[in-house]
Amino acid sequence: MAWDSLCGGDLLRPKIRSASSRTPGSQGRARTPSLEELQRLLWTRAHPTGHVDEVWPNLYVGDLYVARDKAQLSRMGISHVVNAAAGRFHIDTGPKFYKDLPVDYYGVEAEDNPNFDLSIYFYPVAQYIRAALKSPRGKVLVHCAMGISRSATLVLAFLMICEDMSLAEAIQTVRSHRGICPNSGFLKQLRELDLQLGRGKGRGAEAC
């Protein structure tokens, strides 16, 4: 059975789990695991996937339902939304959709396809998330359709670039709050980022 089919399906729950106890930082990068090792790490899921979960202080990963629930976003105090499935034929929200909320919007027109190059967005989105979290009362929702592949990949890249985590550490951090499953192509792109950051220790954090 293909890896991408193993990762399909959400267990939709409205509960928001907190990540307020997270501790930033890494104690140093270990060897980058193989793709197979990363897939095993992701497949051993500790938590189900809900509509939205806090995976890092004030950073949430969610699906299309929470992205369209403006009342819920208001209750959560979301100040910034990153739509990793933007565009007319995906989740067509955008600045006009949120015009009645104090929300800043960032759209990424990404396909949940192993052949899609999501890596071109790793640094721009990481920098956007970092700036948003540093803003007064900054709370960021990163979402796609199901909240397990595109959005999760961008959040993992943020943790690697701006919080100096290895890919394995980032996966473990997010998985402790949410079941995620980047497709095989995205996982390869994250692994390449891990190798690049390992060769240039600290370069990612400087970009933030």
**Catalytic-residue membership of 162:** no
Name which of 48, 79, 75, 77 is nearest 63 in CA terms.
Answer: 48
Q: What angle do CA 18, 113, 147 make, to 5 degrees?
A: 15
Cα dihedral across residues 155, 38, 183, 114: positive or negative: positive
The radius of gyration of the chain from alpha carbons, rounded to an integer in Å, stands at 16
Whole-Å CA distances, 199 to 5, 131, 204: 33, 25, 11
Four-residue CA torsion sign, 131, 132, 134, 140 = negative
Residue 201, beta-bridge partner list: none
- Strands ordered across the beta sheet of 140-143: 52-56, 59-62, 140-143, 80-83, 104-107
Angle at 112 between CA 167 and CA 203, to 5 degrees: 30
Closest CA to 145 of 64, 76, 42: 64
Which residue out of 7, 144, 162, 181 is catalytically annotated? 144
Which residues are the active-site residues? Answer: 144
